[in-house]
Structure 1
Amino acid sequence: MKTFALNKNLKWLDFLNPSKKETDELKKIYDFHPLILEELLRPSDRTKVERYNGYLFIVYHLPIYDQAKRSSRRAEIDLLATKSALITVHYEDLESIEQFERYLASDISVRQYQSTAELICRLLRMVNEFSQRELKHIEKKTNAVGEKLFKNQDRELFEEISYIKRDILGFFIITAPQRHILESLMQEGINFWGEKFRPYFMNLLGDFSRVNYLLENLRVSIESYSQTVSQILEFKTSEVVRRFSVLAFLTFPLLIYFTMTLNLEIFKSFTAHPPYYWLSAGFVLILIIVLAFIFRKKGWL
């Protein structure tokens, strides 16, 4: 547990994977509901904002990129806010929490904070800023796909696009509930802390909208690249099929000719009259040349 006293009226407590003993201590100090304390022992499946007598309970999910899986996964921050204390709980080391700690330690202005609403809004803004940074790797990969188009790397691009689309979908699934959570926080927060904090919560919704806007732009871009690559692959496949079809058509007269020579009577006729053989062979050859010339002129070859 980490404790940071901003002033005599305000403090921050942070827990990483709290134990039963630590949640029992919280119960003694703040008289939190037993079900909430039980919930703090493990990550929650859903986000929420709940108001109790004298405090708010918030479960907030955020995306973190997993290098091994090449997709975003879910992390969690739980917040308990009284009028004089902000308690945060998380289940892994989080950059946003570390940044928040550095901010409280280095910025003298935080000593003037008079409400936990200011602390919560500052922390959640850092979480949203982290989400924007997490989108950078998707943006970088999406731009790389655009640069590789038309460079004969279509199959590799198709695989890379599939990973990016899965990453974007995972990011969206994690962040989509944030709008509802932030709207609920604004409603409950104004009731809890007062109308003067409305602009703080509105700023949080603005931060979320920026993240959502960037994510939507990346989704549209990668969908466009995906369609382009699919069209290129379809065109190349149709070109191969077309060329083989033309080649088969050109060789068809030759196939018929050799099939005829397998007939014993026709073979004897060619043997008895050699000029017939060369005339028929020449005719087939001329036919193939004429067809090839026609196909070439029409651009089929």
Structure 2
Amino acid sequence: MRNVIEYKNLIWIDIIEPNEEDIEYIKNKFRLHPLTFKTIIPSIHYPDIDVFRNYIFIILHHPHLKENGEIQIQEFDIILGKNYLITNHYEKITPLNDIFDECSKSDIKKKEYMEKSIGFLFFIILNRFLKENLSKIDRIEYEIDLVEKEIFLEKEKKMVKEISHLKMKIIDFWRIIEPQRVVFNSLINIGVNFFGQEFRHYFSTLFRIHRKIENTLRTSKEAIESLEETNHILVTLKMNEIIRILTIVSVILLPLTLLASIWGMNTNFLPFNESVFDFWLIVGLMLIISSGMLLYFRMKKWL
């Protein structure tokens, strides 16, 4: 399915799930290299930028955050000519669709985005694309802050799962974002050569935003790894505390069990045997021993 927006001598063609008819339409309307048509078939390609005689071909990946928290790679292709822009994708790319809808429904927006040149419209799309990615990473940073607060509220075991989930989310984002650095870096010189020096600022801005996304992801990665280590230490300390308490209880019960076993022997010459207060004397002896051991443990600062 293809949708078209025209403004003066400029045209933007947005293709979703291209079929044979869409491919033939592009072939007949634009002089594109055969390799370009092979690349826009439905498959995931590595982010790339290629310069042809009369257009620039770009492959980018969009990180789509699914409802279950997983990160899905959405590829979209851009064919950028002097007076035309072709965007091709197989899933809904939110920033791309939003801009297309704005231009379709509002002549004011269409003029704002397409009045200067097709290069400016291209900048608007990528700028929106990068800023949406940045907002998603800001959301991850917010989730990291929540985890940091929860860790010290005795929720260490619950945080193990949360930290692992956030760590995987950051790694998935990094795998999508990092390979696109070369695209945005190359775009500065390629774009300037194609559209002129006045576009250097626009394409440099895109590269700076992408670099900010990378730096934010790198910081988030370091933060979640630090929280993971802290949480592991807290879990270990809690387990050690539990083991220490159980060990002390076992040590205290050992002599009491021994005393109970001795007085449980079937002999006639045990101390206090057949005494009126034999039960209370034995219990008292047990209390004295356990109290002495507790006092000793406290003096040693084991309690």
SS at match of 1:151: coil
Given that 1:158 and 1:229 are in contact with CA atoms closer than 8 Å, whether structure 2 keeps it comes out as yes
- 3-state SS, counterpart of residue 253 of structure 1: helix
Q: CA deviation at 1:294?
A: 1.9
Contact 2:114 2:120 (C-alpha < 8 Å) held by counterparts = no
**Alignment check: 8 A CA contact 2:62 2:93 kept:** no
Query: Which residue is equivalent to 1:100?
Result: 99
DSSP 3-state at the match of 1:64 = strand
Q: Post-superposition shift, 1:89?
A: 0.5
1:67-216 aligned within 5 A: 67-68=67-68, 70-104=69-103, 105=106, 106-107=108-109, 108-114=111-117, 116-216=118-218
Q: 1:232 aligns with which of 219, 231, 234?
A: 234
Question: Does residue 223 in structure 1 map to residue 220 in structure 2?
Answer: no
Distance 1:190 1:261, change over 3 A: same
Match of 2:73, SS state, is strand
How far the C-alpha of 1:175 sits from its partner, in A, is 0.5
Distance 1:193 1:111 in 2: 14
TM superposition score normalised by structure 1 = 0.88
C-alpha change, 1:59 and 1:270, in structure 2 (3 Å) is same
Relative distance call for 1:235 and 1:189 in structure 2 (3 A) is same
Q: Which amino acid aligns with 2:30?
A: Y
Distance (Å, rounded) in 2 between the aligned partners of 1:82 and 1:146: 48
Distance in 2, Cα, partners of 1:5 & 1:273: 108
Aligned with 2:270: secondary structure? helix
**1:167-210 CA-partner distances (Å, limit 9, x unpaired):** 11111111111211111222322333334322221110111122
1:23: how far off? 0.7
Residue ranges of structure 2 left out of the alignment (5+ in a row) = none
8 Å Cα contact 1:59-1:79 kept in structure 2? yes
The 3-state SS of whatever aligns with 1:67 is coil
Paired amino acid for 2:74: A
Deviation at 1:129, TM superposition (A): 1.1
C-alpha distance after superposition, 1:51-110 (max 9, x if no partner): 122111100012111112x12221122001111211000111121112322454433333
Contact 1:55 1:80 in 2 (8 A): yes
Distance 2:65 2:112 in 1: 32
Q: Distance in 2 between matches of 1:174 and 1:111?
A: 29
Q: State the partner residue of 2:258.
A: 256
1:2 paired residue number: 3
Whether the aligned pair in 2 keeps the contact of 1:6 and 1:110 (CA below 8 Å) is: no
The alignment yields a C-alpha RMSD, in angstroms, of 2.5
1:73, 1:171 within 8 Å by CA — same for their partners in 2? no
Distance change (3 Å), C-alpha of 1:39 and 1:110: same
User: Structure 1 pair 217/16, CA: closer, same or farther in 2 (3 Å)?
Assistant: same
* Counterparts in 2 of 1:111 and 1:89: CA distance versus 1, 3 Å: closer
- The letter for the 1-side match of 2:115 is Q
The amino acid that maps onto 1:13 is I
For the pair 1:64 / 2:64, whether they are aligned, the reply is: yes
TM-score normalized with structure 2 length: 0.87
Q: Which residue of 1 aligns with 2:41?
A: 41
Residue 274 of structure 1: how far off its partner (Å): 5.0
